[in-house]
A and B are shown apart, each in its own frame.
Chain A
Amino acid sequence: MDLIKKLQNIPMPVINLIMIASIAIPLVIPLGLPIKIDPMTRAAYNTIQNMPEGSVVIFDYGMTASYIIEMGPACNSMTAQMFEKDFKILFFSGDAQGPVFAENEISPIAEEFKKTYGVDWVILGFAPGGEVAITAILADIKNVFSEDFYGTPIDNLPLMEVVQNHEQIDLAIYTGGGGDRLPAWVRQANTAYGTTVIFIPAGGMIAYATPYYPNQAAGIVGSLRGSAEYELLTRRPGAAISGMDSLSLSFLYLMFLVILCNISVIISFIKGGKK
């Protein structure tokens, strides 16, 4: 009984310390476990690979400090893949932090692939308004953005002479954790105009996104696991792959906690002390 009571009442600092250790130790001593590619991630990769060179992409870069670790690597790998195929990419965000994150994360990749700002890629800026903003942008980009994130008038950007609205857009990519924004892209881009859509959702949104796959969303690259898979597919190993061993150990620990909690309940129930 003493053991059961102790098992049921482990102090939270101890629980938290073991969790920190389960994440920290594999970062220092990697396990090197192999990563299998999920079909939804592979579908996203193949969709981009099969698109013709020079395709135009609108990237809803809903990145915040909360999501940069989870989806940042996937966005970077996907952007690198698109730059390799000479895609033209328009970045914008429904979140205030998005454009600055885009500037910091995408600029080095653009430099690596020798892409010219204004010709090959543009950061349009921040557009609040949720689904209404998405509708407005797909209908007429210049109606929402008169200048880009750096203050350059839209008419002065060569890429914006070619891209006016949804008719010139071949692919829409959304990354973020917004519960309403993910179905909004399906409604406003895929249903309304037939535009191909790919999602890079936060972990909590993966389960809600799967019903749209594969008929409405061409691919789903979910959270840190999806980021690691995409890094593998594009042969750009980074932070996501290095975090997978920590993910393994921490998940095992969480499962152990659940089992621990339930074994003690079962034992205490058998011994006639249902708590």
Chain B
Amino acid sequence: MIINWVEILGVFFGMAILSFSFKDNPIYKFVESLYLGSAAGYVLIMNLNRAYTEGFLSLSKDPLLLIPILLGIMMYARLFKQISWVSRYPLAFLTALGIGVSTRTLIETDVLKQISSSALPLIVFNQGSFDIIKTFSNLIIIISVSTVVSYFLYSREQKGILKTSTNIGLSFMMIGFGTAVATSLLSRVSKTIGLLQTLIIVPSGIYMVPIMIVILILSVFPEKIGLKKKSQ
């Protein structure tokens, strides 16, 4: 019988992580620490490889690449309090690039085009007849955009008609946050569905029961096995 260690490990990791939903235990902590370290190590090696291939190896073709390499090394000065000011140079470079690149198209993308998308006809006719749903929808968009923007007007005291507008805006924001909560629940549930799919669906599902028993014993009764000292 060919033993698929990748599948067995996958099931073991899944069950170890799931055991946390019942009780914090040494097996879960072990697996969590393993992931934390290995993910960090993976990110490190990928980044260093990129810096090596695009930076150091390409120096002969483009000597100016010495500048970003030096700037990158200068960032490590942040770790030493006495010379942490050296890291301000690469930070200034990166901050300036980030600000320049993102803000130059910001107004067109997130203001002008959004306003033009919201400037909708107040009365809509569809093939000659009054389209109540489209009219109502357009009205909702116009009202919601304007009232939500009014919520963030801090240069004037919010009273009178402005107060009414901000209250309506707040209600629309709550509706928006409600949809955001629903879609983020979708995201979370999807991840758990994926986890259980790997555990339940054959062939890896075969390993589930024996691994589950082992983990239950190790996690629920760590004191009896000696994994954890008995609390006094």
A and B touch in the complex (CB under 8 A): yes
Q: Which residue numbers of A lie inside 8 Å of B, CB to CB?
A: 12-13, 16-17, 19-20, 23-24, 27-28, 66, 68-70, 96-97, 125-128, 130-132, 135, 144-147, 151, 177, 183-184, 186-188, 190-192, 202-208, 211, 215-216, 222-225, 239, 242-243, 246-247, 250-251, 254
Q: Which residue numbers of B lie inside 8 Å of A, CB to CB?
A: 18, 21-23, 42-43, 46-47, 50, 53-54, 57-58, 61, 94, 97-98, 101-102, 105-106, 108-110, 113-114, 116-117, 176, 179-180, 183-197, 200-201
16 pairs from A and B in contact (CB 8 Å cutoff): A13-B21, A20-B18, A23-B192, A23-B196, A27-B196, A69-B197, A96-B43, A127-B50, A146-B53, A146-B54, A216-B109, A223-B183, A223-B190, A243-B193, A247-B186, A254-B185
A249 to chain B, nearest CB (A): 10
Q: Are B22 and A13 in contact (CB under 8 A)?
A: yes
Instruction: Identify B197's interface contact among A27, A126, A206, A215, CB under 8 A.
Output: A27
A197 to chain B, nearest CB (A): 11
Q: Are B101 and A243 in contact (CB under 8 A)?
A: no
State the CA gap A12–B109 with chains docked (Å): 45
Q: Are B101 and A131 in contact (CB under 8 A)?
A: yes
State the CA gap A132–B18 with chains docked (Å): 39
State the CA gap A19–B97 with chains docked (Å): 46
Q: Are B193 and A69 in contact (CB under 8 A)?
A: yes
A117 to chain B, nearest CB (A): 19
Task: List B contacts of A207 (CB < 8 A).
Answer: 176, 179-180, 183
Q: Are B200 and A24 in contact (CB under 8 A)?
A: yes
Q: Are B197 and A239 in contact (CB under 8 A)?
A: yes
A203 to chain B, nearest CB (A): 3
State the CA gap A97–B21 with chains docked (Å): 27
Q: Are B21 and A223 in contact (CB under 8 A)?
A: no
State the CA gap A243–B98 with chains docked (Å): 40
Task: List A contacts of B188 (CB < 8 A).
Answer: 203
Q: Are B197 and A243 in contact (CB under 8 A)?
A: yes
Q: Are A96 and B42 in contact (CB under 8 A)?
A: yes
Q: Are B97 and A132 in contact (CB under 8 A)?
A: yes
Instruction: Identify B102's interface contact among A24, A145, A187, A242, CB under 8 A.
Output: A187
Minimum CB distance partner of B54 in chain A: A146
Task: List B contacts of A186 (CB < 8 A).
Answer: 109
Task: List A contacts of B47 (CB < 8 A).
Answer: 96, 126, 128
B213 to chain A, nearest CB (A): 17
Answer whether A224 and B105 are a contact pair too, CB < 8 Å, given A128-B47, A132-B97: no
